[in-house]
Amino acid sequence: MPGILLFRLVFGLLLVAGLLSFAMYVATGDVRWRRRGIVIVKWTVIAGLGFFAVIALERLTPLL
């Protein structure tokens, strides 16, 4: 399933980007980096929840 592999790759890269943003905030003390990190992590989690909801609905469909 290349779709799931691609999602995992994008999800992981977004989490790394969020962590790097927080690291830049700690290193520089600039609040912009913290805000960027929060936004990246927030939308990554929302996208992940949406993806897993679609997977769950696909698995429930044959049962109905």
Confidence at 1, pLDDT banded by 50, 70, 90: low
pLDDT of residue 21: 97
Classify the C-alpha dihedral 13-15-20-21 as positive or negative: positive
For range 7-18, the mean pLDDT: 90
Q: Using CA atoms, how far apart are residues 29 and 26, in angstroms rounded to an integer? A: 5
CB 7 within 8 A of CB 51: yes
pLDDT of residue 64: 73
Confidence check: pLDDT of 12 > 80: yes
Tell me the per-residue pLDDT of 14-62, one tens digit each, with 9 for 90 and over: 999 999 999 999 999 999 999 999 999 999 999 889 888 888 888 888 8
